Chain A
Amino acid sequence: MKNAIEIKELTKDYKDIRAVDHLNLEIQDGELFALLGVNGAGKTTTIKMLCCITKPDEGDAFLKGNSICTDSEKVKAIIGVSPQETAVAKNLSVTENLQLICGVHGFDKQTTQEKISQMIEQFNLQSVKNKKASKLSGGWQRRLSIAMALISNPEILFLDEPTLGLDVIARSELWDQIRTLKGKMTIILTTHYMEEAEELSDRIGIMRDGHLLAVGTADALKKMAGKEKFEEAFIAIVKGGAK
């Protein structure tokens, strides 16, 4: 299978702190890859570099063969991003938020209408399509945020902590939405929730202090750490206790 993402020696420093340290990773086409780690592990910085928001200090990454350092426009054309915080225009309705993203991607009127209808149906946004984003619950806002990331038909989708702060029902509903996307595109998911990574991902990468400590399926990581539960395996790997 072809690689959708190839990360080579990617490094980022913030003043005295090395947020990401010579990261090497390959993610396959159509894979749902989760990046796990405690706060400050370097997950969000890695995502920001892959999305061309932050420039790396060393190394490079190739998204569908396009360099984040030299082909950022091509990279931006093939990615969709749902940031950590719910990044929606609060005084715009659900439909207007979707229109905005179509507009900044330069879609014509007909394409815009088609894509909006498609997203509204896919994310069951019919009942709230004319509501202002600020009036939506956290779960609906998060759905809208992901719909905004998907409306440009990205080949690679970045979901940064997509269920952070959601109640258990909203989280379960969002998981269902994410499951429907699996295999249709490459998805990079960052999360703090072990069960989320275990439930949704094909493979999981565990980061600490800017380093990638381990990569594999949930079962492989459990086996590697010699633990039955994934959370215990994660703790063992992060604390350096994995055998």
Chain B
Amino acid sequence: MRRMLTFANRTMKEILRDPLTIAFGLGFPLIILLLLSLIQANIPVQMFEIQHLTPGITVFGLSFMTLFSAQLISHDRESSFLTRLYTTPLKAHEFILGYLLPILPLCIVQSIICYIVAMILGLPFSINIVWAILMNLVPSLLFIAIGLLCGSAMNQKQVGGICGALLTNLSAWLSGIWFDISMLGKAIGGFANALPFIHAVELERAVLVGNFSSALSHLLWVAAYAVVMLVVAVFMFLKQMNKQ
């Protein structure tokens, strides 16, 4: 336990001390929240109403956590840092937990800050905000697992492309955060619905308005994706470890 916590502590420090974490992980989602709220103030659009927008932004922000974790793991592999640690008594599960666990509180802090800014912008406080923040742990797990998978399977350049460009765009455009997915037609709408991102956003929206019965199906969808992704990611990490 002590060994894993030491390694987890290092993971958190590495991520928090990277200025890009603050710039993208926190700054970018907040800028979008502010900009779209500004548009909403001038040209009212239901999609951009603060109680509708904020849950989507908290989910979108998680895609940056995928990027950070994937970059760190990929860098550790390429720089031989992991090779060094493989020669220490650290065990495989301690590596995996040491990469996964420290990012969860970062996801929570990111959601809390988004909701605080949303309240400043007019979102009325309710206990459902707390539930929404807690429920965001499930999508967080999904995004962190994608990070572990990408970091284990790709080099830093590929991580930048896949996580930095593809994943952030997928979670931005196919999640129904800023427009109704049905506008894209049946095929793309069906594709988007098969992915977990739209369900993560709908889960958060439903919880925020207290519609827990509607949230359940989305929760199960996202949780199933998270579990599968986690299993694949762990398998890939162990494969890389043995491939050494």
Contacts and interface: CB of A to CB of B under 8 A. Distances in A.
Interface of A: 48, 51-55, 73, 76-77, 79-92, 96, 99-101, 103-106, 132, 145, 148-149, 152
A49 B239 CA distance: 17
Q: Which 9 A-B pairs have the closest CB atoms?
A: A103-B6, A83-B80, A91-B17, A87-B80, A87-B84, A85-B80, A81-B87, A87-B81, A51-B87
A76 B88 contact: yes
B13 A88 contact: no
Given A92-B14, A103-B2, A104-B3, A54 B84 contact: no
A77 B79 contact: no
A61 to B, nearest CB: 14
B86 interface: yes
A80 B80 CA distance: 14
B-side interface size class: 20 to 34
Interface of B: 2-3, 5-7, 9-10, 13-14, 17-18, 75, 79-81, 83-90, 242, 244
B87 A76 contact: yes
B240 to A, nearest CB: 12
B87 A106 contact: no
A81 B90 CA distance: 14
Contacts of A81: 83-84, 87
30 contacts: A48-B83, A51-B86, A51-B87, A52-B87, A53-B83, A55-B242, A76-B88, A80-B87, A81-B83, A81-B84, A82-B84, A86-B79, A87-B79, A87-B83, A89-B10, A89-B14, A90-B75, A91-B17, A92-B13, A92-B14, A96-B10, A101-B88, A103-B2, A103-B3, A103-B6, A104-B6, A104-B89, A106-B2, A132-B17, A152-B88
A99 B89 CA distance: 15
A52 to B, nearest CB: 7
Given A91-B18, A96-B13, A54 B244 contact: yes
A36 to B, nearest CB: 21
Nearest to B4: A104
Contacts of B90: 104
B79 A85 contact: yes
Contacts of B2: 103, 106
B7 A103 contact: yes
Contacts of A105: 3, 88-89
B81 A100 contact: no
Nearest to A103: B6
B88 A89 contact: no
- Max chain A C-beta neighbours (<10 A), residue from B17, B75, B87: B87
Contact of B89 (A77, A84, A86, A132): A77
Contacts of B18: 91
A149 to B, nearest CB: 8
- Max chain A C-beta neighbours (<10 A), residue from B9, B17, B18, B83: B83
B239 to A, nearest CB: 13
Contacts of B88: 76, 101, 104-105, 152
A52 B89 CA distance: 11
Contact of A53 (B3, B6, B244): B244
A175 B187 CA distance: 66
B7 A104 contact: yes
B3 A100 contact: no
B235 to A, nearest CB: 18
A83 B78 CA distance: 12
B212 to A, nearest CB: 41
Contacts of A79: 87
A99 B5 CA distance: 12
A87 B86 CA distance: 12
A162 to B, nearest CB: 13
A192 B84 CA distance: 21
Contacts of B80: 83-87
A106 B91 CA distance: 12
- Max chain A C-beta neighbours (<10 A), residue from B10, B18, B242, B244: B10
B130 to A, nearest CB: 32
